[in-house]
C-alpha cells in the first residue's frame, strides 16, 4: 500500500448537487487510512495561496447532503510557472496525495500536476474525480452531478409543459450545454405520453433547419394546442451561437439567449399575436438539492472513495470512471482512465441517441437516462 501522506482535495468548476458527496467520500476513506485531510479553498487557488481547511473531523454524512461546493470553487487556468509553486507547496505541507473533483478543465490541471510531479521526482500522487452536469467527459458512462441536473430539468419541463397545456401557450426553455446536448436531452424524461412536453428538443449536435423547426412547432400547436421547446444553450443559428459577448479564463464564450431568439423567430414565422415566453433555467439547474438523484449521491460518494483507494494502490495520473454493466437492473463498476486521454476532450451526445430528421431524442436514450435520474411522478390529466 502506498503512503498517502497528507491528502489534499479541491473542487473546481460549476458546483453540482452531489459534488460534496464526492468530497465526503474522499475524506472518510483518507481518514480511515490514518491521513490528515486538507481542503483547498476555491480550488487550485487554495494551493497557490496556502488557503486550506482541515477536513479531518468534518461530519461527512451532513456534508454529502449539502448542495454546491462546500470548499468553494473556481474556474482558474493555472499558468505554466505556477505548477512548480503548487507541487512544492504540497511538499512543504507533507501532501503526498492530491485529488481534484471537477470537469474537463480540472482534469487538465490534474494531468499537468501529475506530469510535473514525475518530472521533478516528487512523491505526489494525483487523481481526478469526475464532476459535471454537462456529462461531457469521455471514457465514463456518465458523470456525477449529471443525473441530478437531468432530473431537475425533466421536472421543470414536465411542470412548465402542464402550465403551457392549461394556458395553450408556446414556451421555450433554454438549458445548459455548450457543446454537448446531454442535459437538454434529459428533458425527454418529462414526456410520459404522446403529446406531452417537450415537443421539440434542440441539441448542439443538431443542425439548424428553419422549415423543420417551424413545422414542428406548428404541428404541436395544431395537434395539442400548446408547444414546449427544450433548447440547449449551445444550439447554433446560422449567424453563430447566441452569446453574451463574455469570455472566461479558458476562452469559453458565455452563452445565453438562444431561447429568446427562437421565440421571436417563431412569432414572426407563425404570425402569433405575441412573442412566446422563454426562460433560461440558469444556475439552479446545476445544484438544486430538491431534485437530487439518490443514485447520483451514492455514486458521487463512491467515486471519491475510489480515488483514495487508487492512490493507496500507488496510482497517479488517473480519473475515476463509472462503467455501466447493466441498465435493467441498473449496475456499474468503477474504473480508472489516464488523465491525459481525458483532459480537454469533449464527449458529444452519443449519435444513436439523436433523432436527425426532427428535433428530438431517440427512445433508446430513455434506457440510458431513466435508471440514473430516477422515476418522476406521472401527471394525472382530465383531458
Burial grade of 187 (CB within 10 A; 0-12, 13-18, 19 or more):
buried
Is 272 inside any structural domain? yes
Is 139 inside any structural domain? no
| DSSP conformation class of 68 | S
Question: Is residue 251 pLDDT above 80, yes or no?
Answer: no
Query: CA 37: distance to chain centroid?
Result: 26
pLDDT of residue 247: 44
Is 273 inside any structural domain? yes
Task: Give percent above pLDDT 70 in the chain.
Answer: 95
Q: What would the mean pLDDT of 180-197 be, rounded to a whole number?
A: 97
User: Are 246 and 368 members of one domain?
Assistant: yes
Distance CA 229, CA 266 (A): 11
Question: Is residue 103 pLDDT above 60, yes or no?
Answer: yes
Residues in contact with 124: Cβ distance below 8 Å, sequence separation at least 6, in sequence order: 87, 90, 91, 95, 96, 97, 98, 113, 114, 117, 316
pLDDT of residue 366: 98
pLDDT of residue 353: 98
134 is catalytic: yes
Q: Which residues pair with 151 in a beta bridge?
A: none
Distance CA 17, CA 148 (A): 7
pLDDT of residue 239: 67
- Comparing 173-177, 202-206, 340-344, which segment has the lowest mean pLDDT? 340-344
User: Are 228 and 214 members of one domain?
Assistant: yes
Is 141 inside any structural domain? no
Torsion 328-330-336-340 (CA) sign: positive
User: Are 239 and 301 members of one domain?
Assistant: no
- The pLDDT tens digits for 304-323 are 999 999 999 999 999 999 99
Question: Is residue 244 pLDDT above 60, yes or no?
Answer: no
User: Are 112 and 157 members of one domain?
Assistant: no
Is 380 inside any structural domain? no
> How does 293-303 read in b/e, with b if 16+ C-beta sit within 10 Å?
bebbbebbbbb
Is 205 inside any structural domain? yes
* Reported confidence tier of residue 243, pLDDT bands at 50, 70, 90: very low
pLDDT of residue 2: 81
Q: Rounded to 10 degrees, what is the CA torsion of 188, 191, 197, 202? A: 20
* Reported confidence tier of residue 53, pLDDT bands at 50, 70, 90: very high
CATH number of residue 325's parent domain: 3.40.50.450
User: Are 157 and 250 members of one domain?
Assistant: yes
Distance CA 17, CA 158 (A): 20
Tell me the pTM: 0.94
pLDDT of residue 344: 85
Query: Which listed residue (105, 108, 134, 360) is catalytic?
Result: 134
Q: Which residues pair with 99 in a beta bridge?
A: 9, 127
Is 383 inside any structural domain? no
**Residue 195 φ/ψ, nearest 5 degrees:** 95, -15
Q: In angstroms, what CA-CA distances link 356 with 42, 176, 203, 212?
A: 41, 21, 10, 11
Number of domains in the chain: 2
User: Are 52 and 117 members of one domain?
Assistant: yes
Residue 325 lies in domain: 6-132+291-341
Question: Is residue 248 pLDDT above 80, yes or no?
Answer: no
pLDDT of residue 257: 87
Chain mean pLDDT for the chain:
94
Question: Is residue 109 pLDDT above 50, yes or no?
Answer: yes
| CB-CB contact of 99 with 127 (8 Å) | yes
CATH number of residue 164's parent domain: 3.40.50.460
User: Are 102 and 11 members of one domain?
Assistant: yes
**Secondary structure element (H or E) that encloses residue 351, with its range:** none
pLDDT of residue 52: 97
Q: What would the mean pLDDT of 90-105 be, rounded to a whole number?
A: 96
User: Are 254 and 318 members of one domain?
Assistant: no
Q: Rounded to 10 degrees, what is the CA torsion of 47, 50, 53, 55? A: 50
pLDDT of residue 256: 55
Distance CA 147, CA 151 (A): 6
User: Are 295 and 278 members of one domain?
Assistant: no
Preceding amide of 72 cis, omega within 30: no
Is 382 inside any structural domain? no
Q: What would the mean pLDDT of 364-381 be, rounded to a whole number?
A: 97
User: Are 123 and 229 members of one domain?
Assistant: no
Smallest CA-to-CA distance from 347 within 71, 91, 132, 200 is with 132
* Reported confidence tier of residue 1, pLDDT bands at 50, 70, 90: confident
Q: What would the mean pLDDT of 35-57 be, rounded to a whole number?
A: 96
User: Are 180 and 275 members of one domain?
Assistant: yes
pLDDT of residue 124: 96
Question: Is residue 342 pLDDT above 90, yes or no?
Answer: yes
User: Are 170 and 246 members of one domain?
Assistant: yes
Amino acid at each position: 500500500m502506498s503512503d498517502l501522506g497528507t491528502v489534499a482535495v479541491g473542487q473546481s468548476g460549476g458546483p453540482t448537487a452531489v459534488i460534496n458527496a464526492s468530497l465526503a467520500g474522499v475524506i472518510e476513506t483518507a481518514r480511515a487510512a490514518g491521513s490528515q485531510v486538507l481542503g483547498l479553498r476555491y480550488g487550485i487557488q487554495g494551493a497557490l495561496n496556502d488557503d486550506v481547511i482541515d477536513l479531518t473531523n468534518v461530519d461527512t454524512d451532513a456534508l454529502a447532503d449539502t448542495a454546491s461546493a462546500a470548499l468553494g470553487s473556481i474556474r482558474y487556468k493555472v499558468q505554466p510557472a505556477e505548477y512548480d509553486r503548487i507541487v512544492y507547496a504540497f511538499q512543504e505541507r507533507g501532501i503526498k496525495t492530491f485529488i481534484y473533483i471537477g470537469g474537463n478543465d480540472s482534469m487538465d490541471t490534474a494531468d499537468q500536476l501529475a506530469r510535473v510531479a514525475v518530472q521533478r521526482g516528487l512523491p505526489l500522487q494525483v487523481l481526478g474525480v469526475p464532476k459535471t452536469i454537462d456529462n461531457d467527459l469521455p471514457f465514463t458512462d456518465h458523470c456525477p452531478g449529471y443525473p441530478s441536473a437531468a432530473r431537475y430539468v425533466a421536472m421543470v419541463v414536465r411542470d412548465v409543459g402542464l402550465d403551457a397545456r392549461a394556458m395553450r401557450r408556446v414556451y421555450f426553455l433554454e438549458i445548459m450545454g455548450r457543446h454537448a446536448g446531454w442535459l437538454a436531452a434529459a428533458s425527454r424524461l418529462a414526456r410520459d405520453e404522446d403529446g406531452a412536453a417537450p415537443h421539440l428538443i434542440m441539441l448542439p449536435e443538431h443542425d439548424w433547419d428553419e422549415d423543420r423547426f417551424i413545422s414542428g412547432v406548428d404541428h404541436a400547436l395544431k395537434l395539442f394546442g400548446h408547444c414546449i421547446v427544450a433548447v440547449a444553450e449551445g444550439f447554433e443559428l446560422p449567424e453563430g451561437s447566441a452569446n453574451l459577448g463574455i469570455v472566461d479564463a479558458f476562452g469559453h464564450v458565455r452563452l445565453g439567449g438562444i431561447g429568446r431568439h427562437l421565440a421571436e423567430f417563431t412569432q414572426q414565422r407563425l404570425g402569433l399575436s405575441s412573442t412566446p415566453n422563454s426562460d433560461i433555467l440558469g444556475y439552479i439547474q446545476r445544484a438544486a438539492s430538491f431534485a437530487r438523484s439518490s443514485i447520483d449521491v451514492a455514486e458521487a460518494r463512491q467515486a471519491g472513495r475510489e480515488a483514495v483507494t487508487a492512490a493507496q494502490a500507488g496510482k497517479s495520473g488517473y480519473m475515476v470512471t463509472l462503467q455501466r454493466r447493466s441498465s435493467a437492473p441498473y449496475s456499474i463498476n468503477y474504473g480508472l482512465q489516464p488523465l491525459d486521454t481525458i483532459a480537454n476532450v469533449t464527449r458529444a451526445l452519443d449519435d444513436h441517441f439523436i433523432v436527425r430528421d426532427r428535433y428530438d431524442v431517440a427512445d433508446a436514450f430513455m434506457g440510458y437516462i431513466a435508471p440514473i435520474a430516477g422515476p418522476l411522478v406521472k401527471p394525472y390529466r382530465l383531458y
